[in-house]
Amino acid sequence: MPAAPDHTPATPSDKRSPALHSLWRLRRYVRPYTGQLVGLLIAAFAATGAGIAVPLVIQQVVDGPIAHRDPAGLLRLGALALLLGLAEAGLIFIRRWAQSSLAVGMEATIRDDVYAHLQRLHVGFHDRWQSGQLLARITIDLSVIRRFLSFGLIFLVVNSTTYLMVVALLVAMHPPLGLLVATSAVPLFVVSRRFTRAYLVASRRVQDEQGDVATLVEESAQGVRTIKAFGRRRQMTDRFAASAGQLHDTAIRKSRLLANTSALFDLVPNLTLAVVLVAGTVAAAHGALTIGELVAFVTLQLMLIWPIESLGWIIANAQEATTAADRVHEVLDTQPAITDRPGAAEIVPTDVTGWLRFEGVSFSYPAATRPLLHDLDLTVRPGETLAVVGATGCGKTSLLSLVPRLHDVTGGRITLDGQDIRDIQLGSLRRVVGMAFEEPTLFSMSVWENLTLGRPEASEDDVRTALAVAQADFVYDLPWGLETRIGEQGLSLSGGQRQRLALARAVLGQPRVLVLDDPLSALDVHTEALVEAALARVLRDTTALLVVHRPSTVALADRVALLTDGRITAVGTHSELLATVPAYRALLSATTASPADAGPPPALPTTAIATAPSPATAPSPTGPTIADGTSRTVATATPSTTAEKGTGNRGLVRS
């Protein structure tokens, strides 16, 4: 399958990979185990040889010691048969022991590779792929491949060899009967071909539907609060039942394909055996065969029943492994769209001054019909804090995500200290740019591990300082303090607690450029004011780009940029924009008069009142107009913020 910069999950009807080609492509994972594989095959062939030799010894027993009443000979040949049996058992044990460690080892290596590749893939890939589909590929599909490598493939080789060796022996022993057995392979071949084609499609469909079901389970687990809050349990259960029912029906159809074919695979060798018994007895009666030869012939033929009966299962296993390998390659073949350009430079954080410029930037999501951002120019000066304000859905978050290259610009360029960020090595760019999202993700790790994600070498003092900035000292009260393992996605914490931890994590990295996407939205005004005060001190030395929705948070910024219709339409201090840009005034008015704020005003936090602004930090003349005229958010938060920071509202004072 050709590599693509981005990739849509395949549909069940996709048939891009020729059968078995995908499996063949996994051979590089076999290479480290070549020695083990060779040993395993030697053991398997030797076991088959020992097994085939037993009927030949039986022939000697029947035609020799039994026919001539020779107990000593019987004992000798009996002991030989016993030895052969023991050797076969021992060799089969060695084969099984080697094959399981080989297959499990290969599965683990492929899984590691797929996971590492998923980490390399760009955000756009993860936006487009359902997580359940990825989950199914890295678990169910790899297990299917392991089963094939540990059983199907070995049996395919061993059984085919057994079949060929036994048929050759049978032809040598009695050509007419031997050829009769050999021709029984023709119907088996025809049936196998038809079965292979049908089963390939069915197994791909089952695997895709397994991914869909996994996605539903994952969504329901993540959205359990919403489901319960809206009383949608029944609806979600019905939705799940429909998807699981479809999977059930497809799996049944697939199993029936195997069942029908297996019946034919059972029938052909048994029918051939019956014919051989009759014809062999007639031949023995006419002296064309000795009794011992007939017994050996039939015993050898019995050895063919298992290889033929298991053929259906082996083909099924191979087809499932082929489609599973196909699905795994769909991930592995996707090329990361965001990578280092050739010759990309490494930058040292301490050398970065923090000039951040958007120069004629355009951006659109892959499936979008028109650009979300276009001809966008913006400059953030070293150490400056710039807030981006705009209507909901206008592209603020998308704009911020361009800075650490979570997405790449589709036109224009972004420069850091004059250098196109695409010419900077991704790793070093992301060490320089710290980010906190509005909906923070915490991992099921300890608080410490979550905090030090971007800076594993951080000291306890660093962590304590970052926690203080984010007002996240609550972590010390958790049962095991910083060692407390927080739940998946930090769900055992409140939204505000998660936001504060994410902010502490971003601050701890001591980035030269800090990108914050409304990181205080879940905080109460009191905590928000405290965080803003501490954050203002951190931001003094850092170039910062913030998305803010609340006027109170605008207070953190030196300047504000208004994003409208994909472009920056105004830049200035908060007070300048309030005074001169009606759209800005209208936007902040709308924000502060939003339904969430429309209810009875909450009690003023005492700290906020206690930290009233000093004359030097008093709101700008235009500030109170908003505050008085629209909502109390500005009236409460801005003064408390300015007082907390001591130096006043940087947006109003420094510009």
Ligand X SMILES: Nc1ncnc2c1ncn2[C@@H]1O[C@H](COP(=O)(O)OP(=O)(O)OP(=O)(O)O)[C@@H](O)[C@H]1O
- Residue selected from 43, 216, 308, 394 as contacting ligand X according to rule CB under 6 A: 394
Task: Tell which one of 95, 111, 174, 396 touches ligand X (CB under 6 A).
Answer: 396
Please state the closest distance from residue 123 (CB atom) to ligand X, in A: 7
Binding mask 566-585 for ligand X (x = CB under 6 A): --------------------
Q: How far is the CB of 397 from ligand X (least distance, A)?
A: 3
What is the smallest separation between the CB atom of 500 and ligand X, expressed in angstroms? 19
The nearest distance, CB 597 to ligand X, in angstroms, is 16
Q: Does 131 bind ligand X (CB under 6 A)?
A: no
- Kindly state whether residue 372 participates in binding ligand X, applying the rule CB under 6 A: yes
Q: Are 61 and 74 in contact (CB under 8 A)?
A: yes
616 Cβ neighbours under 8 A, 6+ residues apart: 648, 653
Choosing from 133, 150, 334, 398, the residue that interacts with ligand X (CB under 6 A) is 398
Which of the ranges 36-44, 303-311, 329-337, 391-399 carries the binding residues for ligand X, by CB under 6 A?
A: 391-399
Is the CB of 136 or the CB of 372 nearer to ligand X?
372
How many Å apart are CA 198 and CA 195, to the nearest integer?
A: 5
Torsion of Cα atoms, 25 then 31 then 33 then 34, to 10°:
110
Residues 6 and 125 sit within 8 Å (Cβ to Cβ): yes
Contacts of 380 (CB under 8 A, 6+ apart): 354, 355, 356, 357, 386, 543, 544, 545
CB-nearer residue toward ligand X: 40 or 516: 516
Under the phi-then-psi rule, with left for phi > 0, alpha for psi from -120 to 50, and beta for the rest, what region is 125? alpha
Which of 125/265 has CB closer to ligand X? 125
Site string for ligand X, 329-368 (x = CB under 6 A): ------------------------------------x---
Nearer to ligand X, 112 or 127 (CB): 127
Using the structure block, give the residue that is written with the tokens 């051989």: 276
Q: CB 108 → ligand X: shortest distance, Å? A: 32
Taking the complex as a whole, how short is the minimal distance between the CB of residue 257 and ligand X, in angstroms?
Answer: 39
250's enclosing H/E stretch is helix 233-285
**Closest CB 372 distance from ligand X, rounded Å:** 5
- The pattern of x and - marking residues 87 through 126 that bind ligand X according to CB under 6 A reads ----------------------------------------
Of 395, 412, 490, 511, which lies in the binding site for ligand X, with binding defined by CB under 6 A? 395
Q: Tokens 């590691």 correspond to what residue? A: 112
Contacts (CB under 6 A) with ligand X, residues 40-69: none
User: Residues 210, 133: contact at Cβ < 8 Å?
Assistant: no
- For ligand X, the closer of residues 398 and 446 by Cβ is 398
The window from 109-117, 305-313, 385-393, 508-516 that contacts ligand X (CB under 6 A) reads: 385-393
Whether 501 and 450 have beta carbons less than 8 Å apart is answered as: yes
By DSSP bridging, strand 411-416 and strand 419-420 are antiparallel
d(CA 633, CA 593): 9
Least distance from C-beta 35 to ligand X, angstroms?
47
Residue 655 in the binding site for ligand X (CB under 6 A): no
CB 618 within 8 A of CB 537: no
Who's near 493: CB < 8 A, 6+ residues apart?
442, 486, 501
Task: Kindly state the smallest distance separating residue 319's Cβ from ligand X, in Å.
Answer: 35
User: Any bridge partners for residue 545, and if so which?
Assistant: 386, 515
Single-letter code of the amino acid located at 355 = W
Using CB under 6 A as the binding rule, whether residue 397 contacts ligand X is answered as yes
Binding of ligand X by 393 (CB under 6 A): yes
Q: Considering beta carbons, is residue 60 or 499 the nearer one to ligand X?
A: 499
Q: Give the number of residues written for the chain.
A: 655
Smaller CB separation from ligand X, 6 or 266 = 6
**Residue 541 within binding range of ligand X, rule CB under 6 A:** no
Q: Judged by CB under 6 A, which of 3, 18, 127, 473 binds ligand X? A: 127
Site stretch for ligand X (CB under 6 A), options 1-9, 236-244, 340-348, 396-404: 396-404
Output 40 or 338, the one with its CB closest to ligand X.
338
Q: What one-character DSSP code corresponds to residue 319?
A: H
CB nearer ligand X, residue 300 or residue 406: 406
Give CA separation, 350 vs 94, 202, 345, 354, 513, in Å: 59, 57, 15, 10, 11
SS3 labels along 203-224: HHHHHHHHHHHHHHHHHHHHCH
CA distances from 612 to 117, 255, 525, 632, 639 (A): 53, 74, 14, 15, 6
Of the two residues 505 and 549, which places its CB atom closer to ligand X in the complex?
A: 549
Least spacing, CB of residue 371 vs ligand X, in Å: 10
Is 519 a binding residue for ligand X by CB under 6 A? The answer is no
Q: Which stretch binds ligand X (CB under 6 A): 219-227, 376-384, 390-398, 493-501?
A: 390-398
Pick between residue 267 and residue 391 the one whose CB is nearest to ligand X. 391
Identity of the residue, 62 or 433, whose beta carbon is nearer to ligand X in the bound complex: 433
In the complex, the smallest distance separating the C-beta of residue 587 from ligand X, rounded to whole angstroms, is 11
Quick one: which of 540, 532, 538 has its CA closest to 509? 538
Stretch that binds ligand X, among 86-94, 389-397, 439-447, 576-584 (CB under 6 A): 389-397
For 263, half-sphere exposure in the C-beta direction (CA atoms, 13 angstrom radius) is 5
- Report in angstroms how near the CB of residue 604 gets to ligand X at its nearest: 27
CA 42 centroid distance within chain:
38
- Residue 3's contacts (CB-CB under 8 Å, 6 or more residues apart) are 333, 334, 335
* Nearest residue to 137 via CA among 315, 317, 9, 24: 9
Should residue 392 be labelled a site residue for ligand X when binding is judged by CB under 6 A? yes
Minimum distance, C-beta of residue 382 to ligand X, in the bound complex (Å)? 25
Nearer to ligand X by C-beta: 374 or 512? Answer: 374
Binding segment for ligand X (CB under 6 A), chosen from 395-403, 441-449, 456-464, 568-576, is 395-403
Q: Which helix (H) or strand (E) holds 413?
A: strand 411-416
CB atoms within 10 A of CB 233: 12
**Pairing mode of beta strands 433-436, 373-380:** unpaired
Shortest CB 337 distance to ligand X, Å: 13
Q: Which residues bind ligand X (CB under 6 A)?
A: 127, 365, 372, 390, 392-398
